[in-house]
């Protein structure tokens, strides 16, 4: 046995791999489960028609016999709110017995309670009426000492009762809501306090009361507040006006006085030379007062400073003699032109220069009264003397 080793035969069976093949007869459903292929299309058409008829019948049934909406849950029973048998009660509404009743100032819109725009508008008008009453009372007290600063609420409602009736007529429920709403608005704009008697009093703020003051009161208060500035300014304006008036008057007296002075010189010179040529038929002198009335306009005679300016210029002129003379039994001051050794009147030269200047400036118009007055002055004086 040792010389020869025999192999033991392997008694383990060799694994055999066999592929499992599924027969086609097992995968296919039986033939009696589905209709034949040529009848499948007909079946689909029948199902579609049946579905359409059922859908149409359902719509018609809902249209002609609508189902009643679910009732509202009672406001006092909170357990019902979480059930599906009733509709939750909306805000600003009261639900009782499955019915919804909206609060004052709200209107029902479907299953909701929305604010009533008309009621809110009335509440705003009422708030404006109360504000106007309180603020006008404060403004009257501030301006003229009438009215009151703090107004009792009950007296205020009594005073505005007639205006309230015009807004709300006889709708008491709407008035109560609008009054409460208006008081909510007023609480944000007006000041409120309780007096010793427990009555509510209202007061308008100072900045809001300024809008209700009349224009005259505002102007008066502004003047009082700025009096220390207005008085010096007014004094300066008055003084400046007076000074400008004085300067204008002085310029007018100087200009008009020189113009009259030149006319006096021309007339005296003309009368003097005319009397010399006609050998004593004309007096060479002229009464100063008559010459004044002849040259001055009626409104200029009321200003004595104007003729005084002319007299000063005449006194400064050495060609004119001024002396008293008895005329018709009265002593008069007369003016006489010195013919001997005198030169031509400066008034003529000035007059000619003025005319030349006016012509060069294109202004050749002469006032008809002055033209007539100047051209006939010599003739009138000649007839007078």
pLDDT of residue 218: 87
pLDDT attached to residue 9? 52
Q: What is the pLDDT of residues 255-289, one digit of tens each?
A: 999 999 999 999 888 888 877 776 656 678 889 88
> Is the confidence at residue 237, as pLDDT, over 50?
yes
Q: What is the pTM of this model?
A: 0.44
3-state secondary structure the chain: CCCCCCCCCCCCCCCCCCCCCCCHHHHCCCCCCCCCHHHHHHHHHHHHHHHHHHHHHHHHHHHHCCCCCCCECCCCCCHHHHCCCCECCCCCEEEECCEEEECCCEEEECCEEEECHHHHHHHHHHHHHHHHHHHHHHHHHHHHCCCCCEEEHHHHHHHCHHHHHHHHCCCHHHHHHHHHHHHHHHHHHCEEEECCCCCEEEECCHHHHHHHCCHHHHHHHHHHHCHHHHHHHHHHHHHHHHHHHHHHHHHHHHHHHHHHHHHHHHHHHHHHHHHHHCCCCCCCEEEHHHHHHHHCCCCHHHCHHHHHHHHHHHHHCCCEEEEEEEECCEEEEEEEECCCCCCCCHHHHHHHHHHHHHHHCCCCCCCHHHHHHHHCHHHHHHHHC
pLDDT for 281 equals 61
- Torsion, Cα of 168, 170, 171, 175 (10° steps): 50
Average pLDDT across the chain, whole number: 76
What's the CA dihedral at 35, 41, 45, 47 to 10 degrees?
30
Please check the confidence at residue 198 and state whether its pLDDT lies above 90: no
354: pLDDT strictly greater than 80: no
What is the model's pLDDT at position 341? 53
Nearest-Å Rg of the Cα atoms of the chain is 61
pLDDT, tens digit, 9 for 90 and up, residues 102-139: 877 777 877 788 877 777 888 888 888 899 999 999 99
Once rounded to an integer, what is the mean pLDDT over residues 32-55?
Answer: 76
- Confidence at 88, pLDDT banded by 50, 70, 90: confident
Report the b/e string of 72-89 with b at 16+ CB within 10 A: bbbbeeeebeeeeebbeb
Tell me the C-alpha to C-alpha distance, in Å, between residue 335 and each of 10, 258, 264, 274, 332: 185, 17, 9, 15, 10
């Amino acid at each position: 046995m040792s010389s020869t080793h025999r192999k033991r035969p392997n008694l383990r069976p060799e694994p055999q791999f066999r592929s499992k093949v599924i027969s086609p007869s097992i995968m296919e459903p039986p033939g009696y489960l589905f209709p034949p292929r040529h009848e499948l299309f007909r079946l689909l058409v029948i199902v579609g028609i049946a579905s359409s008829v059922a859908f149409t019948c359902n719509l018609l049934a809902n249209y002609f016999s609508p189902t009643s909406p679910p009732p509202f849950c009672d406001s006092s029973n909170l357990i019902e709110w979480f059930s599906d048998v009733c509709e939750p009660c909306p805000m600003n509404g009261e639900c009782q017995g499955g019915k919804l009743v909206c609060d004052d100032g709200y209107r029902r819109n479907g299953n909701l309670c929305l604010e009533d725009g008309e009621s809110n508008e009335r509440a705003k008008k009422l708030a404006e009426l109360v504000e106007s009453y309180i603020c006008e009372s404060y403004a009257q007290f501030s301006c003229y000492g009438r009215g009151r600063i703090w107004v009792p609420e009950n007296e205020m409602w009594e005073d505005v009762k007639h205006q309230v009736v015009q807004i709300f007529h006889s709708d008491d429920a709407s008035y109560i809501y609008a009054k409460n709403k208006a008081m909510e608005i007023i609480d944000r704009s007006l000041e409120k306090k309780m007096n010793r008697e427990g009555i509510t009093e209202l007061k308008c703020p100072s900045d809001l009361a300024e809008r209700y003051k009349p224009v005259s009161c505002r102007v008066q208060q502004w003047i009082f507040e700025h009096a220390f500035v207005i008085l010096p300014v007014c004094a300066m304006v008055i003084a400046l006006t007076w000074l400008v008036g004085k300067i204008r008057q002085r310029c007018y007296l100087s200009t008009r006085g020189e113009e009259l002075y030149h006319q006096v010189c021309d007339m005296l010179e003309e009368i003097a030379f005319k009397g010399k040529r006609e050998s004593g038929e004309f007096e060479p002198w002229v009464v100063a007062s008559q010459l004044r009335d002849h040259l001055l306009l009626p409104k200029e005679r009321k200003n004595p400073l104007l003729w005084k300016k002319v007299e000063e210029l005449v006194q400064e002129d050495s060609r004119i003699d001024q002396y008293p003379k008895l005329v018709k039994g009265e002593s008069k001051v007369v003016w006489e032109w010195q013919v001997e050794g005198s030169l031509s009147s400066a008034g003529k030269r000035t007059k000619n220069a003025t005319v030349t200047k006016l012509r060069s400036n294109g202004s050749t118009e002469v006032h008809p009264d002055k033209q007539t007055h100047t051209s006939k002055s010599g003739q009138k004086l000649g007839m007078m003397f």
